[in-house]
């Protein structure tokens, strides 16, 4: 039994419009679901991914309008890394991001930058047999586009505290002193720790990661939950998120983990050709639609601009 790499990474934004602009127009991802936080329906939940909305490519944001900027600290993910196929792709992104006013740092086969709210992002040249998870964009050739996640890096005071749970219950394979390969039959991703910054404890807020979700097959999901509980973790019950099922717990270094199923997927309630265009509400919130629509920031379908 193995987890199939990263399912999604969920973050916080204080500005949905600028967030949509950066992740769709600049980075070229597809807005695949526009919905609300199922625990607070007045808050947007925006999902950006590849063309199909695949697990492994899916970065999501809760919008708390006007939220102040946070800062990653111990127990928080500080960098999200996507794969690109070649050094030429890194050069493309170096130029494209500069053109969008985003400063970058290139080191060897990596390009580091931040989103408009300071969230740490990185592109890495990675040779892999994993399927490239690519979105279409009129200005970004498919052979340089982002190919899905390579991994996430978090801050921890003492990574050894996490090792027994990660390697025992979750089957993470050691890949370095404080890094692990989380690889299943179809896909893998990396989890790594760095020493926390001297700037002090983390502050949740805009531009920080809320949680990272790891992919489980539908069949193994309950068994993963039981393994975490047996190892002394405190997993939530299985929660039905409609597009997938979820279990949450904090790993021993404090990072909020989710185990999410690889199905049923984003096309269960939308035409795959029109993912992310309409506001989709979970069934329990459908009766609140007029109130919810009145408080959410209006967002235009990013692809509407393509034909203009």
Among 135, 156, 213, 280, binds Zn ion (CB under 5 A): 213
Whose CA is closest to 244, among 277, 288, 213, 278? 213
Q: Does residue 10 belong to the site contacting Zn ion (CB under 5 A)?
A: yes
Site string for Zn ion, 256-285 (x = CB under 5 A): --x---------------------------
Q: How far is the CB of 12 from Zn ion (least distance, A)?
A: 12
Stretch that binds Zn ion, among 4-12, 146-154, 190-198, 275-283 (CB under 5 A): 4-12
Task: List b or e across 36-66, with b for residues whose CB sees 16 or more CB atoms inside 10 angstroms.
Answer: bebeebebbbbbbbbbbbbbbbbbbbbbbbe
CB of 246 to Zn ion, least distance (A): 6
Residue 258 near residue 213 (C-beta atoms within 8 A): yes
Distance of alpha carbon 187 from alpha carbon 302, whole angstroms: 29
Asked whether the bond before 127 is cis by omega within 30 degrees of 0, the reply is no
> Closer to Zn ion at the Cβ: 50 or 258?
258
Nearer to Zn ion among residue 180 and residue 244 (C-beta) = 244
DSSP character string of 10-38: EEEES-HHHHHIIIIIIT--EEEEEEEET
162: left (phi over 0), alpha (psi -120 to 50) or beta: alpha
Give whichever of 35 and 104 is closer to Zn ion, judged by the CB atom.
Answer: 35
Check binding of 58 to Zn ion (CB under 5 A). Answer: no
Stretch that binds Zn ion, among 30-38, 207-215, 232-240, 290-298 (CB under 5 A): 207-215
Query: Which residue, 122 or 258, has its beta carbon nearer to Zn ion?
Result: 258
Mode of pairing for the β-strands spanning 58-63 and 6-13: parallel
Binding mask 222-261 for Zn ion (x = CB under 5 A): ------------------------------------x---
Looking at the Cβ atoms of 93 and 257, the one nearer to Zn ion is: 257
CB closer to Zn ion out of 55 and 213: 213
| Shortest Cβ 8–Zn ion spacing (Å) | 6
Q: 242 near 36, Cβ under 8 Å?
A: no
Closest distance to Zn ion from the beta carbon of 149 (Å): 13
In the complex, minimum distance from the CB of residue 45 to Zn ion, in angstroms, rounded to a whole number? 9
* d(C-alpha 252, C-alpha 161), whole Å: 6
Kindly state the smallest distance separating residue 248's Cβ from Zn ion, in Å. 8
Name the one range near Zn ion by CB under 5 A: 10-18, 22-30, 83-91, 146-154: 10-18
- DSSP H or E segment with residue 88: helix 87-99
Beta carbon nearer to Zn ion, 93 or 249: 249
Contact 44, 252 (CB under 8 A): no
How many amino acids of this chain bind Zn ion (CB under 5 A)? 3
Q: Work out the end-to-end distance of the chain between its first and last CA atoms, rounded to an integer number of angstroms.
A: 48
Using CB under 5 A, which of the segments 165-173, 210-218, 232-240, 275-283 binds Zn ion? 210-218
172 vs 152: CA distance, rounded Å: 14
Instruction: By CB under 5 A, tell whether 51 contacts Zn ion.
Output: no
**Residue with smaller CB distance to Zn ion, 45 or 137:** 45
**3-state percent helix, strand, coil for the chain, nearest multiple of 5:** 20, 35, 45
Residues near Zn ion (CB under 5 A) are 10, 213, 258
């Amino acid at each position: 039994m193995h987890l199939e790499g990263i399912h999604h990474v969920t973050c916080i934004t204080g500005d949905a419009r600028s967030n949509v602009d950066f992740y769709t127009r600049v980075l070229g991802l597809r807005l695949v679901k526009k919905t609300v936080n199922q625990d607070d329906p007045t808050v947007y939940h925006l999902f950006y991914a590849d063309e199909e909305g695949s697990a492994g490519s899916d970065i999501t944001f809760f919008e708390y309008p006007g939220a102040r900027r946070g800062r990653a600290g111990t127990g928080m993910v500080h960098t999200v890394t996507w794969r690109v196929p070649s050094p030429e792709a890194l050069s493309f992104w170096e130029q494209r991001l500069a053109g969008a006013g985003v400063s970058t740092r290139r080191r060897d086969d990596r390009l580091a930058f931040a989103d408009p709210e300071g969230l740490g992002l990185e592109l890495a040249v990675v040779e892999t047999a994993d399927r490239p998870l690519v979105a279409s964009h009129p200005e970004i050739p498919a052979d340089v586009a982002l190919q899905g996640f390579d991994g996430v890096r978090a801050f921890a005071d003492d990574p050894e505290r996490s090792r027994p749970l990660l390697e025992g219950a979750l089957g993470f394979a050691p890949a370095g002193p404080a890094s692990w390969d989380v690889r299943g039959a179809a896909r893998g991703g990396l989890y790594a720790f760095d020493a926390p910054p001297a700037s002090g404890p983390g502050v949740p807020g805009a531009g920080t990661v809320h949680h990272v979700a790891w992919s489980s097959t539908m069949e193994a999901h309950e068994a993963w939950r039981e393994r975490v509980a047996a190892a002394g973790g405190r997993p939530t019950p299985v929660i039905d998120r409609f597009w997938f099922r979820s279990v949450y717990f904090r790993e021993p270094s404090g990072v909020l983990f989710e185990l999410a199923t690889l199905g049923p997927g984003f096309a269960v309630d939308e035409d795959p050709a029109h993912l992310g265009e309409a506001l989709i509400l979970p069934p329990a919130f459908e009766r609140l639609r007029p109130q919810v629509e009145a408080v959410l920031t209006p967002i235009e379908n990013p692809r509407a601009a393509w034909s203009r």
